[in-house]
Structure 1
């Protein structure tokens, strides 16, 4: 039985009028978000001068190797301290909703997870949660990576997302967000919107020379991309 009053029940015509008024505001929000993404693409960057070594599935791995040859890298800072028995519940929600990486790869972008817990704990938790190995998960246990990029502070672990872009062997950090800034992550679009190249479609307001194609022309099923 309903114990709280529901919104007003109206006729179909009245509902349509109310909906259309709301959709106007939603479209305004979409345009504002597009403008914000364009501003994000033009942010200045900072060079990553320090060398970092993380531990991945095949042993020690340099930061540049996380790109897997692609130009852009998104790192999700998954909260998992070395002395924890399980990863963060909220970060687990985020990982449950993560997009299939093939679509990001088609836009020259890699997506990985980094946590401070040892590799053994990461793999045990991955197995428990039933996650596939399609998203690489690296341990920064023996590295300053978490501390330098704000994922571990004197108050403990923090979740967040860092974006990097590579120019040859030079790596630059272009963006970071934490706290509620990661709440809307999940779809392919929201991840690409964080990157310097964006969705790489012709309608976007991007710096001159940025890679772009016609909207949706590049989209394939995840098993249909070349390579």
Structure 2
């Protein structure tokens, strides 16, 4: 049980050993000490994403079939004309706890975290969910839960062939013309980080496609920040808005000026 304070908020649990309360200077010193480790983690995360972009690729030779809102679709169709495809295997089907009203609780939590897919689309990337539930049930579930990502029905051995027949997981594919390649796979706790635009792009073979990234020669890269847009304002060729470019340039210049006397970031 927890004790409640006079204003109705929950108080500290008995026996809970909390950190000390300190003055602002001491708090800022502790924050700066932790920030060193956080920046090291960020750099390590960037290096790991760079390594993913250099992973070997596995050709997908089987002609897999899915059912979608518009009928039968191939794996190539799931790309929706883009170069990269991320497929999350969600468990929504007979036998799963919650059926037919809900999908798996964990998969539903993942779905709740998915950012607006327009930002991924602007980086030539498509995200889809796949389950064994019929399309009518998927449409009903999406409407109830407010989910908007494309969601397809598995009809063959795709889930077994890509390690997601008994457990959730995220597979990443790359399209070169009509040829499809598997480039990455993550499951278990690796999936819990998924949902944000950045984490999805960091597991793709092309990455965020910004100039600061360590990518193989010839990979597509554009100036950092400049491609960002409101999710309802992207165009087919993602031309950056001139005003936004000016604003972001000014912000970068102000940041560099403010931190000119400090040690530069590596």
TM-score bracket for this pair, using the shorter chain length: over 0.9
**Aligned Cα RMSD in Å?**
1.1
The residue number in structure 1 matching 2:70 is 58
Name the structure with the higher strand share.
Answer: 1
Question: TM-score scaled by structure 2?
Answer: 0.80
The residue number in structure 2 matching 1:20 is 32
Q: Confirm whether residue 203 of structure 1 aligns to residue 217 of structure 2.
A: no
Q: Distance in 1 between matches of 2:145 and 2:167?
A: 21
Alignment partner of 2:113 out of 67, 84, 97: 97
Other structure's SS at 2:88 match? strand
The residue number in structure 1 matching 2:226 is 217
Q: Distance in 2 between matches of 1:130 and 1:207?
A: 39
Q: Confirm whether residue 35 of structure 1 aligns to residue 47 of structure 2.
A: yes
Alignment partner of 1:182 out of 183, 191, 204: 191
Q: Confirm whether residue 150 of structure 1 aligns to residue 160 of structure 2.
A: no
Q: Confirm whether residue 131 of structure 1 aligns to residue 147 of structure 2.
A: yes
Q: Distance in 2 between matches of 1:185 and 1:87?
A: 18
Alignment of 1:111-122 (within 5 A): 111-122=127-138
Q: Shift of residue 123 of structure 1?
A: 2.0
Q: Shift of residue 163 of structure 1?
A: 0.3
Q: Distance in 1 between matches of 2:145 and 2:223?
A: 38
Q: Distance in 2 between matches of 1:82 and 1:43?
A: 36
Q: Deviations over 1:56-93 (max 9, x none)?
A: 00111111000010000011111223443131111111
Q: Distance in 2 between matches of 1:14 and 1:83?
A: 54
Unaligned runs of 5+ in 1: none
Which structure has more relative contact order (CA 8 Å, sep 6+)? It is 1
Q: Distance in 2 between matches of 1:168 and 1:103?
A: 23
The number of equivalent residue pairs is: 220
